[in-house]
Structure 1
Amino acid sequence: MTTSDPLHTPAPERVAVVTGGSRGIGRAVSLQLARDGLAVVVNYTRDAASAEETVKVITADGGRAIAVRADVADEHAVTALFDRAEREFGGVDVVVNAAGHLALSPVADLDLSALDEMHRTNIRGAFVVAQQAARRLRPGGSFLGVSTSVVGTQFPAYGAYVASKAAVESMTLILARELRGRDITVNTVAPGPTATDLFLDGKTPEEIERLAKTPPLERLGTPEDIARVAAFLTSPAGHWVNGQVLRANGGMV
């Protein structure tokens, strides 16, 4: 007769929900968390093909993942997203809110419809996802928001975008304190210039080169750079970090 050895009992599978998980930083986070052994719910809004491709890459490597469509600003859709995660995988341990919208313009010239769209995703969406995370995360879990280092660098033309991301940063410590006693961490990663479609769109080669030279490391970040930070902050190894905004930007001020 054999008995189980508690020292060698496999740890329960951890489950992650990654919003905006089909492209850019979100995709890199989805892939990294899957490599680390988490089952991943890859959320997307419009690009189903990219979401399914991300899932295909994860499952081909032996991981478990599903793609689920949901507009992060729609509380009913986000509730259904978390319901699906719980039905498929049994619960939620990690939430990374990588969904975001960017529109660049001087304050004087910004179309207010662009402002409304950006704030709908970046503020309302961040709040809706955080609300569900606060309700659903299991003990030992983590919520990670995504901001931008431009909150600190204050580049021209980023006024509306920075206003939306500053809201994400302001919520971080408050939510961490509200979850006192639940063994759940809340942090935000604030990338510097990162070579994603969202960042590169509309910029000239000269602008990209100038921004790449800004950090002391003299290069753009990669989505994988940010994904590794996200993986640490949401892992058991990073669980003593709580209520913090981490600027992952290669040394920009």
Structure 2
Amino acid sequence: MDGSLKGKVALVTGAGRGIGRAIAVELARQGTSAVAVADLDETAVEETADLVRAEGAKAEAVGCDLRVRDDIEAMVTRCAERFGGLDVLVNNAGVIDTAFTTGHDHGVGSLPEEVWDAVYEVNLKAVWLTTRFAAPYLRRSTRGPAIVNAASVSGLVGFPNCPAYGVTKAGVIHLTKVTAVDLAPVRCNCFCPGVIDTQLTQEYFAAAEDREAMARELVAPQLVDRLGRPEEVARLVCFLASDSAAFITGAAYVVDGGALAWRGVKG
């Protein structure tokens, strides 16, 4: 599959597992010459780097706490210096409210302030900071520079008990648009996954009183009757990062099995 990503240097955050890992591997598979992969879990991101190398691309594993400004700046600098620039930035990292609190009531009226702050710092502020530090390198790129951000269908419609997640993902959608305006001709788009089979989704299910009921509830509105797969999202991300999407910027793409295409729920 030639989009083309050949010869480009990419940085993917949240690449330790799930969608981020799938994106990094797919970038390598489609011809990206080098992929820097970053995650808080250094062991997991080293595993991702090995998978990238197995696909024929160079890789650099970076441990990074996206709640720490200096870590973010060092991550971007390390990538650009290691590979001589940066052409593609994928802001994929994300966390959900339930990762930072126990119990089953995480609604607007009860979510602890520190949980709101933690989700905001990773899901939205870190996206802005990473973009800010990457901007000088992307502007110097002559190989079709592009940014792809991870939003969510939760940024388009409301879901219960994850207010910080939904609000920050809505923020990512708008940040994508203003980034496309401010950094043009660097392109910036975002993807909005539905229910994808990742660790984040499994953690959300685990926080529910009835895990199986929650899973059924989330999949029921979909026209495709299953969880999405990380590699299905990865292929969309690679398209948006590639030269095939050269006329696309400031857009949000939904990959949700048809959940937002109608107002129904399957029995």
TM-score (norm 1): 0.90
Matched, 1:73 2:77: no
CA contact (8 A) 2:97 2:163 kept: no
Corresponding residue number in structure 2 for 1:230: 237
Counterpart amino acid of residue 248 in structure 1:
V
Corresponding residue number in structure 2 for 1:41: 36
Distance 1:215 1:224 in 2: 18
Distance 2:204 2:135 in 1: 36
Corresponding residue number in structure 2 for 1:23: 17
- What do the CA deviations read for 1:175-219 (whole angstroms, capped 9, x no partner)? 111123xx3110111111111011111410221123123211111
Match of 2:197 among 195, 198, 201: 195
**Change in 2 beyond 3 A, CA 1:135/1:218:** same
Distance 1:29 1:142 in 2: 14
CA contact (8 A) 1:26 1:98 kept: yes
Q: How many residues align?
A: 240
| Residue aligned with 2:171, SS | helix
Which moved further from structure 2: 145-154 or 11-20? 11-20
CA contact (8 A) 1:188 1:245 kept: yes
Corresponding residue number in structure 2 for 1:5: none
| Residue aligned with 2:121, SS | helix
**Change in 2 beyond 3 A, CA 1:12/1:159:** closer
Distance 1:98 1:224 in 2: 14
Match of 2:26 among 22, 32, 53: 32
Matched, 1:250 2:245: no
Counterpart amino acid of residue 201 in structure 1:
E
Sequence identity, in percent?
32
Distance 1:12 1:150 in 2: 33
Counterpart amino acid of residue 62 in structure 1:
G
- What do the CA deviations read for 1:7-64 (whole angstroms, capped 9, x no partner)? xxxx97210000111111111111110111211101011x111111111122233221
Matched, 1:115 2:122: no
CA contact (8 A) 2:72 2:126 kept: no
Counterpart amino acid of residue 114 in structure 1:
V
| Residue aligned with 2:231, SS | helix
CA contact (8 A) 1:200 1:208 kept: no
Gaps of 5+ in 2: 99-105, 206-210, 261-267
TM-score (norm 2): 0.85
Matched, 1:98 2:87: no
* Alignment map for 1:173-192 (pairs within 5 Å): 173-180=177-184, 183-192=185-194
